Structures are given as structure tokens and as C-alpha cells.
């Protein structure tokens, strides 16, 4: 199956909307996804408003885009894949499934800032979509310094801090300022005592966000 994104030269005519949609469904049923894509786009652009598209047709179109994207990613055709995703997002800016797919793909390419942008847009569109939450978590962990994992998993170190902090608070030292809090482990230890007043200060925005997502 050739999966280059079709170039649409002709400006879609409003009178042909139903014909475009019929052809789109026909080629979709034939598993000819590039042609289905072409006629779906012509159908969308022939409408007075994109809001006239039914949820069912948008869902089928999303499936078409996903099929094409899978082949393009396998053949490493970055230009065509981005063209496909971006054209879809231009039509449906709130399509959280495609926003998430594009974000995940940009993450694979190492474009973390761009990936984060699209993943956050996907999450904004659908706050309960688990795949995008998972991708944001992977992105965040990937950006975290490697040494931080070793430190967070150092059980003896953490137990020693727990013992020392708990002991000090029990002796009346109830005001704690955690400078360079990271993921906030030491602050959490201190806050176990309901009488403690804890202020955590962290320069990085990433580490606290990781805690929120986790």
C-alpha cells in the first residue's frame, strides 16, 4: 500500500459533499487508506463548518490517519508523516488521539519540547486519556538526570534521612525549609508530622510535575 499523503489540487465544491463522503467510506471499506484520506479531507473542506462532521466520521478518519501513520513510521518517512498529522490537527485541533500520537512520535525523534507541547494539548483536550498521561510521564522521566534515580532508590540513605528528620521534629524543630527539594522526598518525610511547617523550594519545574503525575 502506497501511503504518501495525497496532494489535493482541486478546491472541494460544496455541492459534492455527499459524493466525497461516499467515496471516502468506499475506499475505507476497501482498505485503500490514502484515497479514503483524500476524499475525507475534500469532504471536510467542502463543509460550511468542520463542526458539521459527525463523531462517527471523525472517528473513522482518525483510524485512517493512524493506518497511514503506521506505514509511514515503519518506512521512516518523516516528512510525509508530519504532513499527515499536521493536516489532521489543522482540521481537528482538539483531536486528542492524533495530538497524542504526534507528541509520542516527536518524543521518539528526540524533539522533547515539541513532544511536550502536543502531549499537553492532548491532555487539555481529554484530561482522562491514559495514553497521553503515560507518554508525559515517560517524557518527564527521560529528562530527569540519571543520578536522581539512584538517589531516590538509595534505601539506606532515605531511611537515615527519615530517622534524622523525624527525630529533629520530635525535639521541637517544626519549621523546615527544603532548598533544592527535587521530587520532595525529604519534604514529605517532614510533613508526616502534622505539627511541622514545611516549605519546599525547587528551581526545576520538571521534578515537581513528575511527582504530581506519579
The mean predicted confidence, pLDDT, of the chain is 89
58-68 mean pLDDT? 98
Query: Per-residue pLDDT for 214 more than 80?
Result: no
- Would you place residue 11 in the very low, low, confident or very high pLDDT band (cuts 50, 70, 90)? low
Query: Per-residue pLDDT for 38 more than 80?
Result: yes
Is the model more confident about 144 or about 167? 167
For 147-213, CATH number?
A: 3.40.50.150
- Give the range among 94-98, 123-127, 143-147, 177-181 with minimum mean pLDDT: 143-147
Query: Per-residue pLDDT for 124 more than 60?
Result: yes
pLDDT of residue 147: 74
Three-state secondary structure readout of the chain: CCCCCCCCCCCCCHHHHHHHHHHHHHHHHCCCHHHHHHHHHHHHHHCCCHHHCCHHHHHHHHHHHHHHHHHHHHCCCHHHHHHHHHHHHHHCCCCHHHHHHHHHHHHHCCCHHHHHHHHHHHHHHCCCCHHHHHHHHHHHHHHCCHHHHHHHCCHHHHHHHHHHHHHHHHCCCCEEEEECCCCCHHHHHHHCCCCCEEEEECCCCHHHHHHHHC
Query: Per-residue pLDDT for 30 more than 80?
Result: yes
pLDDT of residue 141: 78
pLDDT of residue 152: 79
pLDDT of residue 16: 80
- Give the range among 86-90, 105-109, 148-152, 204-208 with minimum mean pLDDT: 204-208
Name the segment(s) of the chain with CATH classification 3.40.50.150. 147-213
pLDDT 10s digits, 43-56? 999 999 999 999 99
pLDDT of residue 150: 80
pLDDT of residue 55: 96
pLDDT of residue 153: 85
pLDDT of residue 10: 52
CB atoms within 10 A of CB 91: 18
- Would you place residue 132 in the very low, low, confident or very high pLDDT band (cuts 50, 70, 90)? very high
Amino acid at each position: 500500500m502506497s501511503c504518501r499523503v495525497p496532494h489535493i489540487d482541486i478546491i472541494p465544491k460544496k455541492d459534492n459533499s455527499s459524493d466525497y463522503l461516499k467515496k471516502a467510506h468506499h475506499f475505507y471499506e476497501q482498505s485503500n487508506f490514502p484515497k479514503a484520506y483524500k476524499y475525507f479531507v475534500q469532504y471536510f473542506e467542502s463543509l460550511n463548518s468542520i463542526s458539521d462532521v459527525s463523531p462517527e466520521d471523525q472517528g473513522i478518519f482518525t483510524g485512517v490517519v493512524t493506518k497511514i501513520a503506521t506505514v509511514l513510521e515503519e518506512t521512516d518517512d518523516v516528512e510525509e508523516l508530519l504532513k499527515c498529522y499536521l493536516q489532521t490537527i489543522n482540521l481537528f485541533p482538539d483531536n486528542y488521539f492524533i495530538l497524542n500520537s504526534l507528541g509520542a512520535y516527536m518524543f521518539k525523534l528526540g524533539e522533547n519540547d515539541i513532544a511536550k507541547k502536543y502531549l499537553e494539548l492532548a491532555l487539555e483536550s481529554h484530561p482522562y486519556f491514559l495514553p497521553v498521561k503515560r507518554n508525559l510521564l515517560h517524557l518527564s522521566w527521560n529528562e530527569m538526570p540519571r543520578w536522581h534515580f539512584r538517589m531516590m532508590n538509595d534505601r539506606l540513605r532515605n531511611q537515615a534521612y527519615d530517622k534524622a528528620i523525624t527525630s529533629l521534629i520530635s525535639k521541637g524543630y517544626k519549621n523546615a525549609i527544603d532548598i533544592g527539594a527535587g521530587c520532595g522526598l525529604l519534604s514529605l518525610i517532614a510533613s508526616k508530622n502534622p505539627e511541622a511547617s514545611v516549605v519546599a523550594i525547587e528551581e526545576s519545574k520538571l521534578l515537581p510535575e513528575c511527582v504530581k503525575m506519579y
